């Protein structure tokens, strides 16, 4: 097999940490909680591509308040499994957020460096409010303490894939969250 191919012979999918039914139960709960908190207001959900796409589409359908959705894509300079905190915007929001109630939807908060950058960037655009909803968080890995208003699940310090989360662009389509097992190469 040529090197640089899309195959990931160095890793396989290991133990399931959050199964499909647990994901849907928690997304429904978050939808109710967020709908209560934002009653009478209109939400702008901001998803961070690509990892948060699966979560945000399920979460949005669990909301009972009027809402819109927009997306940002960021690249973090780092290797395949950790970020450096130096973030570049690849795709910015389509519309301004000034005066809007913004909920930033993330797949996972690890060191917190990416989220910290995103919060600073969005805050500078003067939204009426800005909160964070993260499907997963690894509190043990945090380098910066950040206010995360809504959390799906706290998970241990493992690299996970599935339900939007990738390893070298693979495994996003798994309908559950599982730990990645490194088989041959230590990362």
Query: Catalytic positions, please?
Result: 110
Strand partners, 88: 75
What, of ligand 5GP, Mg ion, none, does residue 110 touch, CB below 5 to 8 Å by kind? ligand 5GP
Provide the mask over 99-118, with x wherever binding to Mg ion is found by CB under 5 A and - wherever it is not: -------xx-----------
Between strands 83-91 and 101-109, the pairing is unpaired
Residue 89 is classified by DSSP as E
Closest distance of CB 40 from Mg ion, Å: 30
In what side-by-side order are the strands of the sheet with 129-137? Answer: 83-91, 67-78, 43-49, 101-109, 129-137, 150-154
Closest distance of CB 51 from Mg ion, Å: 4
Please identify, using beta-carbon distances, which residue of 102 and 161 lies nearer to ligand 5GP: 161
**CA–CA separation, 139 and 137 (whole Å):** 6
Residues 66-125 that bind ligand 5GP (CB under 6 A): 76, 83, 106-115
Q: Does 87 interact with Mg ion (rule: CB under 5 A)? A: no
Inter-residue contact 107 to 76 (CB < 8 Å): no
Provide the mask over 50-69, with x wherever binding to Mg ion is found by CB under 5 A and - wherever it is not: -x------------------
């Amino acid at each position: 097999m040529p090197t640089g191919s899309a195959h990931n012979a160095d890793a396989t999918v290991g133990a399931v940490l959050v199964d499909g039914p647990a994901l849907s139960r928690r997304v429904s709960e978050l939808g109710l909680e967020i709908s209560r908190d934002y009653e009478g207001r209109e939400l702008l959900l901001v998803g961070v591509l690509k990892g948060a796409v699966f979560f945000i589409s399920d979460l949005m359908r669990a909301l009972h308040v009027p809402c819109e959705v927009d997306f940002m894509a960021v690249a973090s300079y780092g290797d395949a499994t950790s970020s450096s905190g130096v973030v570049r915007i690849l795709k910015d929001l389509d519309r301004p957020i000034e005066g809007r109630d913004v909920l930033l939807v993330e797949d996972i908060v690890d060191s917190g460096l990416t989220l910290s950058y995103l919060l600073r960037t969005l805050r500078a655009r003067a939204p009426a409010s800005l909160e964070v909803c993260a499907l997963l968080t690894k509190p043990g890995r945090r380098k910066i303490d950040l206010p995360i208003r809504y959390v799906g699940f706290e998970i241990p310090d493992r690299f996970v894939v599935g339900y939007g989360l990738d390893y070298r662009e693979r495994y996003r389509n798994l309908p559950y969250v599982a730990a990645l097992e490194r088989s041959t190469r230590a990362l």
